[in-house]
A and B are shown apart, each in its own frame.
Chain A
């Protein structure tokens, strides 16, 4: 851990303790600290503003939405996703974070495995040698001295065994801890999926709103009425199938 992050952690610790003790002293209902909600998507304004040709915008939006929609369906980091994602620097950083984290976890795991195996191997070697010595002792005559020596060696081996098994235990624990990447990367993946889905939703909404009047007849009834353009609902089109239908009906 770096010096700065250790200092930051102590600050956080102090902040928590301070607020917690304030609460303990004045236990009335705390003001609700609203976690910043996701910014409400601004209503899409048709591109009828400025000099831009509304139909050109409509075309471009339609084709972008199609690309994104297919990419979502393919569920892969292929060209399409990469293009959509490259315009979102935050998402790119998050994906890099995932790659780094999983890479580190793999390395950490393999290190622990190697070290653990080394300990196991040396224990095995020592035990095998000792067992062989005892075999020889039981199958032939040995002097009292040799017997005593073997006894000593065996005592030493047994005395040192707990420490070595603890070493292996520690490596196993390390392997387990290295799996924490799954939780962090999993959360990040979910977050990215949400971002991408939100983007698609906004594009679809924009597409519907910017559909020129002469093309509106192509839109199936379900997209002009009902929940899709209801501004009070947060889900625009609820299924990938609906998005497919929408895009097809507009010729994309």
Chain B
């Protein structure tokens, strides 16, 4: 599928951040995006809809990014979903945890359009061989 069709879920408890990510995604060619304000809401949407990519913040109330990722990887329907985690601080333990529980990539805030594009590219490249 091409970039324009990919349905992305943006998860962050700050609406400002969600808007910024949404606009940046549009800039790099992904115009089909939805938003959720925490892990719990995100899971509901993921299970109900057909998303192709998740961009999620770490620190959120109700269910944080790590727990959301664990739930996604444990769900039969969702486990192969690419998940890009967004962290405010590049702490070693966070990076290690992210990789260990199956994040497809991570990006540190504040990030630029170029960085986002690069991370997306890397993740999609890794997926390509398995794409139907």
Contacts and interface: CB of A to CB of B under 8 A. Distances in A.
Interface in B83-132: 88, 90, 92-103, 105-106, 108-110, 112-113
A16 B106 CA distance: 8
Given A173-B113, A176-B23, A9 B99 contact: no
Majority DSSP secondary structure for residues of B touching A = helix
Main secondary structure of the interface of A (DSSP, over half): helix
A8 B90 contact: yes
B17 interface: yes
Given A16-B95, A35-B66, A187 B100 contact: no
Nearest to A5: B90
A183 B109 contact: yes
Interface string A3-15: 0000011001001
A179 B19 CA distance: 10
Contact of B59 (A15, A19, A31, A187): A187
A209 to B, nearest CB: 31
Contacts of B16: 179-180, 182-183, 186
B38 interface: no
Interface in A170-185: 173, 176-177, 179-180, 182-184
Given A184-B88, A186-B14, A179 B100 contact: no
User: Interface size class for chain B?
Assistant: 20 to 34
Contacts of B23: 173, 176
Interface of B: 12, 14, 16-17, 19-20, 23, 27, 59, 66, 88, 90, 92-103, 105-106, 108-110, 112-113
Interface of A: 8-9, 12, 15-20, 22-23, 30-31, 33, 35-36, 173, 176-177, 179-180, 182-184, 186-187
25 contacts: A9-B108, A12-B92, A12-B108, A15-B95, A16-B96, A16-B98, A16-B105, A18-B99, A19-B99, A22-B99, A30-B100, A33-B93, A173-B23, A173-B113, A179-B16, A180-B16, A180-B20, A180-B110, A182-B14, A182-B17, A183-B12, A184-B88, A184-B110, A187-B59, A187-B88
B59 A12 contact: no
B96 A33 contact: yes
Most buried by B among A20, A180, A183, A184: A183
